[in-house]
Structure 1
Amino acid sequence: MWRDLLPIGRHRGSGGYRRFAWTAADTDCRAWFKAQAEARGLSFELDRNGNQWAWLGDPLAGDAVVTGSHLDSVPDGGAFDGPLGVVSSFAALDELRRRGAEFARPLAITNFGDEEGARFGLACVGSRLAAGQLTVDKAHELRDADGVSLPEAMERAGQDPGTIGPDPERLARIGAFVELHVEQGRALDLSGDPVGIASAIWPHGRWRFDFHGEANHAGTTSLEDRRDPMLSYAATVLAARQQARLAGALATFGKIAVEPNGVNAIPSLVRGWLDSRAADQGTLDTVIAGIEAAAHEHADRDGIDLSITRESFTPVVEFQHALRDELAKLLGGAIPVLGTGAGHDAGILSASAPTAMLFVRNPTGISHSPAEYAAEDDCVAGVVALADVLEGLACR
C-alpha cells in the first residue's frame, strides 16, 4: 500500500508532496482509497462533503468504531502526515482478519477531505462541514490563490457542491473514532517509545494581517516618502516571535502575499498569515493580543493601514478520558500520554463523538517537510497497536 501511494502528488524538485484538495493528485489519492476498500470487500461511501468511508458491517447499525485520517498535504509536505493513518487503518483491518477476529460492531475507515487547508486556507474542511463547525455560506466564500471557490473546485473534480453541509445523522453512527498519526514532535523519541496516546490538542488558530501601503518606484522614492507595508510586516514577524517566546507558546508567519510583487516596486499590500498555538486559551489570547498591538504600533509608525481577520480557530480539545484510558488499558497500560500543538480531524469530531489518537514515533521530530520520517518497525508497531485497540473496541 505504501509503495503504491508514495508517488502520488510528489514534486520532483522538492521531493515533497502537493496533494491539495480537489486537484488531480487528490483525485488519484481518492481512487487509491476506493480501490483499497473494494479489494477488501468493504462497502464504499462518499458523503455529502466529499469525505470517503469504507465500511465493514452495516453502516446504519450505529455505535460504529471508526478509524482513519487524511491523504492531502501541506505544500511540499512529508509522506507520513495523514497517509500513515489511512494506510495503517487498512493494515490493521488486515491484521484483525489474520487473527480471525469476529466483529460485534460496524467498523469504518475514513479519508477526511482537505484536512491541511493548503488550498483554501482553512484546515479540516471536510470534518468541519460534517460537524457543522463550518457553515455552508462560509464554505462557499473560501477561495484558493487563483480565485477558484471551493464549490467550483469540487464541481471540477466531479463532486456535487450543492450537497455540502452538516451531516449529524452520519456522525451519530460513530461510537468511537480513533485516529493514528505520525508524531509531529520528538516526545516519543526522547522517551524511547514507538507509540503513544494523545491527551489533548492545544487551542490554535489562523489570522490574516493585511498591511496596506502605497506602491511606488524602488529606485526613485526616498526613504522618507515611502509608505512601505513590508516594514510593518517584518516588524510584526519579529514581534510574534518575541511574544511566543515570552509566553512559552508558538507563533509563525508562514505564508505571505505581496502586491504588486515586483523587485523594483515598493509594495502596496503585504498580506501575511499567522498561525499561533498555546497549551491553554489564556496564554494564546495573551500572545495574539501582544502581536496585534505590535502590528498596529508599527503600522501607525509607518503610515500603513492595517486590518486583522481571524480566519479559523479551534479551542482546546481534551480527548475523552474514558476512551483514552480504554486505549491505554488495551495497550497494556505502560504507554506515554502526550499533548500536541497540531490540529486533527479527531479534534473536530470530538464535539460529536468520543475520539482518541495514537501517535507513531518520529525520530527527527520534523513534520510538514519532505524530511518527515518514521521507521518501518515503528510503523508496524503502530499498526499492531491500532489493531489491538480496534479489536478491543469492535470485536467479540
Structure 2
Amino acid sequence: MTGLADLAGVGVDRRGGFTRHGFSGVDLELRQWFAEEARRRGLDVETDRNGNMWAWWGPPGESAVVTGSHLDSVPGGGAFDGPLGVVAALQAVDLLQGRGFTPVKPFAVVVFVEEEGGRFGSGCLGSRLLTGALDADAARRLTDPDGVSLAEAARAAGVDPTRLGRDGDALRRIGVFVELHVEQGRGLVDLGAPVGVASSILAHGRWRFRFTGEGNHAGATLMGDRRDPMLAAAATVLAARRAAVDNTRATIGRLIPTPGGTNVIPSRVDLWLDARAHDTRRTRDLVAAIAEAAGRAAADEGCAVEVTEEYYGDPVTFDAGLRDRLVDTLGGVPVLPTGAGHDAGVLAAHVPTAMLFVRNPTGVSHAPEEFAEEADCAEGARALADVLAELAR
C-alpha cells in the first residue's frame, strides 16, 4: 500500500518487525514524512502542546470531522498497527479530492504521539494528555528504560514540556473522531468481511510488579540460603496464566532482572502485567488475584513485592448513533468488539467516536506477522472516505 511502503525502512528492528517510539529519532523521521505528505495534499500542518500533529483541510475550527491514528509501535511490532490508519486517512483525502469533494465542516487528519506506550510505559500518551486523563506532572516524570524522562525527550523533539497537559482548545475542535485500524484478531476473517465497525473496547491496564531480594553469587550461594526474586517473579507469571479465566486476559511480556548477569542471583526483578476484561470489576479482581499470588510467592522466597498501577482504561462503548450511521453508510458491514486499546477509546469519553477495522488474515498483531491484504487496505480507505464525506458534508 502506497504510504506503508514509504515507511518500510523506518525503525526496522534487527530482532524483527519495527520499533518506533515516541519522541525518538525514528519518530521524528515519521513525523517529517507525515508533514510532507499532508502538505503535498494542500493540508496545513500544526503540532499541539502535547506533540500531536494535525493536518487541516481548510481552516481549523470547532465541530471538526477528525480522522487519523498513530505512527509509533510496540518493540518489534508490525507494519500496520497505527500507520495503516494514518495512511488510509491520507488516501481518503486523495479519494475525496479526486471526487471534487470539499468538506463543509472543518476537517483534520491527526497523528497522536506514543499511543503504544512502548517507550514510557503509558499507553495513549498523546490523547490522554490532550483530554486530561493523564496528569501532566506525572507524565513529565515518566522515564524510558535508559532513564530519559518524558520531559527531556519532548524538549529534544521540539515540544515544550512545560506546556504538556489538557488542551481544551484542541478538544473543542473535535466534533467527531473516526479511527481506522487493522483488526487485532480474526473477527473479520471469520465473518468473511474486509471492513467492520467497532462496538466496544475491553477494560485494560498495566501494572508493574517489583520483587526485591538479595543479590548474590550463583555458585557460592546454597539454594537454601537464597532470597531470589526471580523465583517469585516466575511464580507470578504462572499465577497470571492460571488467574485469566472466563474470557479475562493476563499477559506478562516484559521482565527485567537487576543486574542481569548470567552467574548472578538478581537483587531485584521488575515485571509488567497487562490485564483486560469486559468490565472494571473483573479486571480489578484479576489483578488482585495475581497480586495476592505474587505476595505469597515473594514471602515463600524471603523477598518483598511492590505493585504499582501505571495505566488503566475503563471499558469503552462507542457512540451508538455514530456507529449505526457508519454501518448504514457502508451498507451493513459487521459490528464487532476489540480487546485492544486505542486513542479513539480515550476520546470516546469526550466526543462522539467510532472505529473502522480492516481485516487481518493472520489474526496476529504487535508482531511482525501482522498483515492486511492490499485490496482490503484499499477497501478500508474507500470506506473511510465514504464515512468522512457523509460526516463532513
Structure 1 residue aligned with 2:16: 15
Structure 2 residue aligned with 1:351: 349
- In the TM superposition, what are the counterparts of 1:288-299 in structure 2 within 5 Å? 288-299=287-298
- In the TM superposition, what are the counterparts of 1:136-147 in structure 2 within 5 Å? 136-147=136-147
Superposition TM-score, scaled by structure 2 size: 0.98
Is 1:39 the counterpart of 2:37? The answer is no
Structure 2 residue aligned with 1:4: 6
Q: Give the number of aligned pairs.
A: 391
Q: Which amino acid in the other structure matches residue 250 of structure 2?
A: A
Q: Distance in 2 between matches of 1:155 and 1:293?
A: 40
Superposition TM-score, scaled by structure 1 size: 0.97
SS at match of 2:321: helix
Superposition misfits of 4+ residues, deviation over 4 angstroms: none
Structure 2 residue aligned with 1:55: 56
Structure 2 residue aligned with 1:306: 305
Structure 1 residue aligned with 2:368: 370
Native 8 Å contact 2:122 2:310 kept in 1: yes
Is 1:341 the counterpart of 2:339? The answer is yes
How much has 1:248 moved relative to structure 2?
1.9
Native 8 Å contact 2:211 2:306 kept in 1: yes
Q: Distance in 2 between matches of 1:139 and 1:285?
A: 23
Structure 1 residue aligned with 2:124: 124
How much has 1:74 moved relative to structure 2?
0.6
Q: Distance in 2 between matches of 1:152 and 1:288?
A: 32
Q: Distance in 2 between matches of 1:294 and 1:98?
A: 59
Q: Distance in 1 between matches of 2:68 and 2:271?
A: 32
Question: 1:256-280, CA deviations, whole angstroms, 9 ceiling, x for partnerless residues?
Answer: 1111111111111000000011122
**Equivalent of 2:389 in 381, 391, 396:** 391
Question: 1:278-299, CA deviations, whole angstroms, 9 ceiling, x for partnerless residues?
Answer: 1222221221111111111111
Native 8 Å contact 1:18 1:75 kept in 2: yes
Q: Which amino acid in the other structure matches residue 270 of structure 1?
A: V
How much has 1:392 moved relative to structure 2?
0.7
Q: Distance in 1 between matches of 2:163 and 2:283?
A: 35
Q: Distance in 1 between matches of 2:254 and 2:379?
A: 36
Q: Distance in 1 between matches of 2:49 and 2:7?
A: 25
Native 8 Å contact 1:247 1:283 kept in 2: no
Question: 1:41-93, CA deviations, whole angstroms, 9 ceiling, x for partnerless residues?
Answer: 11111000000000012212x11100000001110110000000000000001
Give the aligned CA root-mean-square deviation in angstroms.
0.9
Q: Which amino acid in the other structure matches residue 132 of structure 2?
A: G
- In the TM superposition, what are the counterparts of 1:242-281 in structure 2 within 5 Å? 242-244=242-244, 246-281=245-280
Q: Which amino acid in the other structure matches residue 287 of structure 2?
A: I
Structure 1 residue aligned with 2:77: 77
Is 1:89 the counterpart of 2:89? The answer is yes
Question: 1:307-332, CA deviations, whole angstroms, 9 ceiling, x for partnerless residues?
Answer: 10011100001101011111111111
Structure 2 residue aligned with 1:228: 228
Native 8 Å contact 1:278 1:284 kept in 2: yes
Q: Distance in 2 between matches of 1:57 and 1:102?
A: 9
Q: Distance in 1 between matches of 2:80 and 2:102?
A: 30
Q: Which amino acid in the other structure matches residue 72 of structure 1?
A: D
How much has 1:18 moved relative to structure 2?
1.1
Q: Distance in 1 between matches of 2:212 and 2:153?
A: 29
How much has 1:15 moved relative to structure 2?
3.5
SS at match of 1:247: coil
Q: Distance in 1 between matches of 2:123 and 2:369?
A: 22
- In the TM superposition, what are the counterparts of 1:205-216 in structure 2 within 5 Å? 205-216=205-216
Question: 1:150-183, CA deviations, whole angstroms, 9 ceiling, x for partnerless residues?
Answer: 0101111222212211101211111110000000
Q: Distance in 2 between matches of 1:170 and 1:102?
A: 22
SS at match of 1:172: helix
Native 8 Å contact 2:4 2:79 kept in 1: no
Structure 1: any 5+ residue segments left out of the alignment? none
Q: Which amino acid in the other structure matches residue 103 of structure 2?
A: F
Structure 2 residue aligned with 1:102: 102
Native 8 Å contact 1:172 1:352 kept in 2: no
